């Protein structure tokens, strides 16, 4: 596999020649690399800030910067950096030292295929972790926008996933007679439906779970926290994730209606 992205590499190495040989090996293997070298702690810390490396190649025999110190400095920096320890040959004592120091990957400069495989694995894992963090940030931002939308709306609105309440605004809680979301968290829409409408509503939820589009609205009787019931209109709005429809998640707007107002209120909510 050829990596088009430039890999920023920080060598912990006394010998410039050894660092250049590994750099040449990687370039010949198809990697685009931008290397720099550090032989002591001060140079290493400076390189972390100036280069912001993706990968550290550490020679455990480096005179002025031990492998334990390299691991510690990476951890202190709180950066996600792949660390590969370069050794000339495999032996039990060397492996024990590398792993006891906190490193988890070993590369053999004398074995090009092995080194290439280790670098590919380390960089692929690094990119995956970064992508996961980006997705987590996007999820938090989506949740923040969701909360803002719910809180700013005067209409009773809930966020429903696979029939379960995920979020709901205060207007939604008030119309059902609940004081806090914790009272309905994990509660299904079926739990709020009167028995006479349960089967029809369950059938609708099953169709939605199969990816069928939701109806514009439905009319049914819902239960309140005090045991009372009321006629309601539920409006469903499709939820989109990164521009694609999410078949499991819906916005649901709820209206408590008298029969005389039912048609007009449903029309208003559909606009």
Question: 56: exposed, middle or buried (C-beta count within 10 Å: 0-12, 13-18, 19+)?
Answer: buried
Q: In CATH, what number does 7-136 get? A: 3.40.50.2300
How many other CB atoms are there within 10 angstroms of residue 143's CB atom? 13
Question: 37: exposed, middle or buried (C-beta count within 10 Å: 0-12, 13-18, 19+)?
Answer: buried
Domain 153-270 belongs in CATH node 3.40.50.1110: no
Domain boundaries, the chain: 7-136, 153-270
Contacts of 188 (CB under 8 A, 6+ apart): 163, 164, 165
| pLDDT tens-digit profile, the chain (271 residues) | 446 789 999 999 999 999 999 999 999 999 999 999 999 999 999 999 999 999 999 999 999 999 999 999 999 999 999 999 999 888 888 889 999 999 999 999 999 999 999 999 999 999 999 999 999 998 889 888 878 878 888 888 888 877 788 889 999 999 999 999 999 987 888 999 999 999 998 898 888 778 788 887 888 899 999 999 999 888 876 654 455 554 445 667 777 654 334 444 444 544 4
- CA 22/CA 112 separation, integer angstroms: 9
Cβ atoms of 34 and 54 within 8 Å: the answer is: no
């Amino acid at each position: 596999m050829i990596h088009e992205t430039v890999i920023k590499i920080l060598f912990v190495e006394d010998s410039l020649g050894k660092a250049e040989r590994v750099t040449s090996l990687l370039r010949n293997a198809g990697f685009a690399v931008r290397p720099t070298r550090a032989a002591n702690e001060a140079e290493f810390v400076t390189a972390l800030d100036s280069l912001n490396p993706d990968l550290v190649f550490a020679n455990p025999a480096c005179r002025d910067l031990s492998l334990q110190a390299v691991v510690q400095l990476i951890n202190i920096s709180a950066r996600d950096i792949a660390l590969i320890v370069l050794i000339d040959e495999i032996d039990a004592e060397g492996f024990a030292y590398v792993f006891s120091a906190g490193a988890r990957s070993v590369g053999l400069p004398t074995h090009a295929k092995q080194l290439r495989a280790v670098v590919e694995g380390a960089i692929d894992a690094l990119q995956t972790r970064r992508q996961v963090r980006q997705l987590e940030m996007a999820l938090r931002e989506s949740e923040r926008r969701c909360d803002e939308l719910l809180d700013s709306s005067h209409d009773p609105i809930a966020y429903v996933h696979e029939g379960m309440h995920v979020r709901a605004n205060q207007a939604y809680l008030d119309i059902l007679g609940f004081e806090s979301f914790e009272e309905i968290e994990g509660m299904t829409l079926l739990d709020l439906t009167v028995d006479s409408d349960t089967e029809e509503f369950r059938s609708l939820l099953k169709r939605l779970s199969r990816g069928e589009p939701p109806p514009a609205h439905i009319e049914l009787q819902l239960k309140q926290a005090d045991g009372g019931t009321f006629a309601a209109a539920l409006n469903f709005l499709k939820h989109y994730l990164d521009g694609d429809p999410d078949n499991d998640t819906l916005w649901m707007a709820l209206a408590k209606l008298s029969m005389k107002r039912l048609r007009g209120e449903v029309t208003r909510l559909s606009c």
